[in-house]
Amino acid sequence: KGRGKRSMKARAGSSALQALSSDCAEPEPQEHAPKRCRTASKTLGTAKHSNCTANGATLKRAVLSLLDLPAGWEQSFSLGALKQVAARAANFEAGWQRIGAEHRAELVEALSTAAAAWRSFAESVLPFDGAVAKGQKKLKQGDPRRAAVERIIAASVHLVPSGSGVHLGAGLVLTCAHCVDHDDDDENQPRSPQKRAFSGGSKRPLTRAERAAYEEAHAAWRATTAAALGHKRVGRLKTCVTARGAHGAAECIAADEASDLALLRFVAGSPGGLEALPLGGEGDDEAGTPVLAVGNPYDWDLEGAAGAKPRRNGYTPFWASSGQLKGEIERGDAEAKGVGPQRHSCWTYWGHSGCPIVGSDGCVLALHNSWDDTNGQRHAVPLSAIRAFVGREG
């Protein structure tokens, strides 16, 4: 739903590991993304990935996605190879790296369960023409957005097992930072400083002295917590499935936690048939602009009452919904609520995070990332933040 809330993902690795935790030693946690390929950006709150040919060659030889496991891997892979798949392709928690041969079968079972879930997501993609027709059907004849539906869907990606993104060209995928998740992520990381903490809990505007203290605290947060979180995401792999059914592994090359943006680059080149969308120009995102959102809503009902029988929603990947941009709220207010500053009225659900909000001309005008659970208002990362981030890191 909102920023700071994790995307829904298969948790087979976590649940299986918990059953083994009492049998495993507890040495210091290890970082599995290659440290030699990481550099810290000079921009506060941003992590950036350097070009590393040697590491790229290594990645291309490895299994980068659970969708690419070869036949018979359960028996043929060594324990070391299984651990590499768990750490890099599946983003399983680091505890799996400490198990011994006696727990090999449990790791195989966890990977098999996750791989089956990933295949289920990939297989739910409709034929391309069907997805386009479904999206166009929701728009009236004469609506200029109808002509853009095919292009938008052709440039969108489904981050398996959950999340959305858009291809900007040259193998670069734009998504939300919180979509580049990992089983080791701490969901209770400190949020950015809240204005009310500096006004004695009041909603009133901050005084000059209070605002100075707030901005100082926020700058410190960007330089420490946000920078550390963004840095951890760099180097992670995400499997991207296209609307034509192709897929490829993409590596996070930059992440800005404060704006909730991330850039991925396909390791072995863009999947065939994947198109690209340009970013809108400055000022293209005026309030009232008609837009489309194309994302990947989770198909199980996650809003039912506690204890209710699970049921399918009937949602399919590359779901198109229409709406308008509603204008931006002040950044401080957005941070206090944990939402993006840009408001929009396109329908979204769990799994839409990272989906492009696109104008009738096919230009990306925002990136959906959250919603306000007090009023249902959908929120997104604004165009100005996207342009600055991509210009800096792309």
Q: Do residues 287 and 326 lie in contact, with contact meaning Cβ atoms separated by under 8 Å? A: yes
| Domain co-membership, 288 together with 150 | yes
Query: Residue 252 carries which side chain, given as an amino acid letter?
Result: C
CA dihedral sign, ordered 82, 84, 87, 91: negative
Q: Give the structural domain span for 272.
A: 139-183+232-393
The number of C-alpha atoms within 13 Å of 234 and in the hemisphere containing its C-beta is 27
Strand partners, 261: 256
pLDDT at 52 over 50: no
Give the C-alpha separation, 99 to 138, whole Å.
Answer: 51
| Domain co-membership, 74 together with 153 | no
**Residue-wise pLDDT tens digits, 55-109:** 444 544 689 999 999 999 999 999 999 999 999 999 999 999 999 999 999 999 9
Give the C-alpha separation, 43 to 256, whole Å.
Answer: 9
| Domain co-membership, 150 together with 107 | no
Q: Say how many domains are in the chain.
A: 2
In a domain, 41, yes or no: no
Count Cβ atoms below 10 Å from residue 187 Cβ, excluding itself.
8
For the record, the structure tokens of 274 come out as 């994947």
| Domain co-membership, 145 together with 247 | yes
For the record, the structure tokens of 305 come out as 């009452």
In a domain, 146, yes or no: yes
**Residue-wise pLDDT tens digits, 16-26:** 665 554 444 33
Q: Do residues 255 and 179 lie in contact, with contact meaning Cβ atoms separated by under 8 Å? A: no
Q: For residue 261, report the phi and psi dihedrals to the nearest 5 degrees.
A: -125, 150
HEC sequence for 67-134: HHCCCCHHHHCCHHHHHHHHHHHCCCCHHHHHCCHHHHHHHHHHHHHHHHHHHHHHHCCCCHHHHHHH
Share the mean pLDDT of the chain.
84
pLDDT at 197 over 90: no
Give buried/exposed letters for 136-172 (b at 16+ CB in 10 A, else e).
bebbeeebebbebbbbbbbbbbbbbbbbbbbbbeebb
| Domain co-membership, 109 together with 248 | no
In a domain, 22, yes or no: no
SS3 204: coil
| Domain co-membership, 103 together with 155 | no
In a domain, 368, yes or no: yes
**Residue-wise pLDDT tens digits, 215-259:** 788 777 766 777 777 788 999 999 999 999 999 999 999 999 889
Residue 309, class by beta-carbon neighbours within 10 Å (0-12 exposed, 13-18 middle, 19+ buried)?
Answer: exposed
SS3 64: coil
In a domain, 380, yes or no: yes
| Domain co-membership, 164 together with 64 | no
| Domain co-membership, 68 together with 172 | no
For the record, the structure tokens of 146 come out as 């109808």
Secondary structure element (H or E) that encloses residue 43, with its range:
none
SS3 90: coil
| Domain co-membership, 272 together with 324 | yes
In a domain, 1, yes or no: no
Give the C-alpha separation, 98 to 22, whole Å.
Answer: 12
| Domain co-membership, 298 together with 353 | yes
**Residue-wise pLDDT tens digits, 257-300:** 889 999 999 999 999 999 999 999 999 999 999 999 999 998 87
In a domain, 248, yes or no: yes
Query: Residue 13 carries which side chain, given as an amino acid letter?
Result: G
Query: Model pTM?
Result: 0.80
For the record, the structure tokens of 92 come out as 């399983």
For the record, the structure tokens of 4 come out as 């700071």
| Domain co-membership, 106 together with 237 | no
Give the lowest-confidence range in 86-95, 265-274, 303-312, 356-365: 303-312
Residue 105, class by beta-carbon neighbours within 10 Å (0-12 exposed, 13-18 middle, 19+ buried)?
Answer: exposed
In a domain, 32, yes or no: no
| Domain co-membership, 79 together with 154 | no
Eight-class DSSP state of 52: -
Strand partners, 320: 294
For the record, the structure tokens of 320 come out as 């198109």
Give the C-alpha separation, 233 to 235, whole Å.
Answer: 6
